[in-house]
Structure 1
Amino acid sequence: MQKRVSCLALGLALFLTLSAHAAAAERSANVVVDGKTLEPTVATEVVNQNTYVSYFPVVHAMYPDATASWENGQSVTRASGLTLSVCPGAKYIVANGRYLYVPDGVRNSNGNMMVPARVLAQALGGKAWWDENTQSVKFQSGTGPIQSGDTFYNGDDLYWLSRIIYAESGNQSLEGKIAVGNVILNRVADSRFPNTVKGVIFQKNQFTPVSNGSIYRTPSNESIAAAKLCLEGTNTAGNSLYFVNPRVSPNSWASRNRPRVATIGAHAFFA
């Protein structure tokens, strides 16, 4: 059975390794929300060319009624029309049930919960950008927070996508799970395959979990998260249409006939 890692454990691991994280660098920058510079200075840093900001001051500037609490190892912020969960070390944040990808993970820097500015802006229904002239991270409010997951995700697509992800890659990393979901959605978008998630999965002789019945197993929480991330447009497998486990199928048709795009965990992905 797949082990579940709590947000609290992720947060501890992040805290222990933060000082050695070579991808992070301090950036001296103002944070400006709707034309107003936030005071006192909001913490910022750069991780792999993405500007991270301490998230709550930005939320509070856009939503003055926002309150934050620590619940089950994560920070939960509530405001009018918004529920935002931020877990240290997690590779996504959850806004109104929507899963937004943070490939380098949520960071805890000197007690500040840090997320990429553009991801935070999406959660808040606004936009963010780096202003080189003023060396500022700028946010602009929209008409309200992000649309809820209940109305954004197609229930049938989520149901079947999370199940094929779990059946095919339940023991793989989040990136590996997302990649399997990418293959399904890439096929949906390709005229050579059925045009629905269920149709792709149940196409004859394509996926072993359909023939052995494992497609009907209840997916793990992370498999559901991966499916939602895929439906948000997160992609770790490029334009892949096939995947195989080379140890199980060392001479597969895909490996002999299709270009390799990526190898993630136990799976090789082919276009």
Structure 2
Amino acid sequence: MTRQMNPKPKSGRRSPGRRMLLGLLAALMLAVPAKAARTVPVQIDGTALDAFCHLENGVTYVPLRALLNALGDWDVFWDSGLRAAVAVSGDSRLTADPAADTVTVDSDVRAGRVYVQEGVTYVPLRTTAELLGSAVEWDTYFQGAAVTSPSAEHNAVDFYWLSRIISAESRGEPMEGQIAVGNVVLERVASPDFPNNIPDVVFQQADGIVQFEPVENGTVYLDPTDQSVEAARRTLNGEKSLEGAMFFYAPALSEGVWINGNRTYLTTIGCHRFYL
């Protein structure tokens, strides 16, 4: 239902109460955006980007310099004549233009919001990364974006989670034992009895019970050791410490009652017993 406004005073001035109300409404409109941005993590080739990145209206924005430093050998600078950020690597040239809201690599121009905040140029992640030949995907377990660069050996999401589950399960174990843990994960991926990708295998629950203890206690989210990163790389490259094992446990930490009663023992490596 509409309501009739009170007549304006003959002077043409708004009443003090109305001026105050309009001012309050204007302040609220400026203070509350339609959709607030939120901080999100971004990882590139398995390594988290150490920079402020955020998601706004379904688009992830990243600092241009941080992104290019992670992707390769780029010289990044601000061109005061163009009033745009420019980056050069070999024969390639990238321009991020805030006025035109475009990112250009050589002759390929893409539309996308570009802005400068506190001296940092922000660009849309997917638009910019794909222009540079990278693949971008959303990782639900990471709750952020994952970028696989053109020079990467392996998918960024697979490499990220395999290195972390190896580290969380076998930190301090010899390389042979760490690769064996990685072998178990890949055996499960290949089996019809388990999910068909690495992150889903790592985070799988059966009857409400997680399959890997580090998922339950949170240690899977810790940064992996350098040895575990190397073990993940070697595992994904096909190196094997054992064949066919899909289960393991450490007798010092668990009695392994179900595994001993239901699976066939294969071998022991370090502190872990492995089962088919």
Settle same-fold status: TM greater than 0.5. Answer: no
Question: TM-score under structure 2 normalisation?
Answer: 0.43
**Structure with bigger gyration radius:** 2
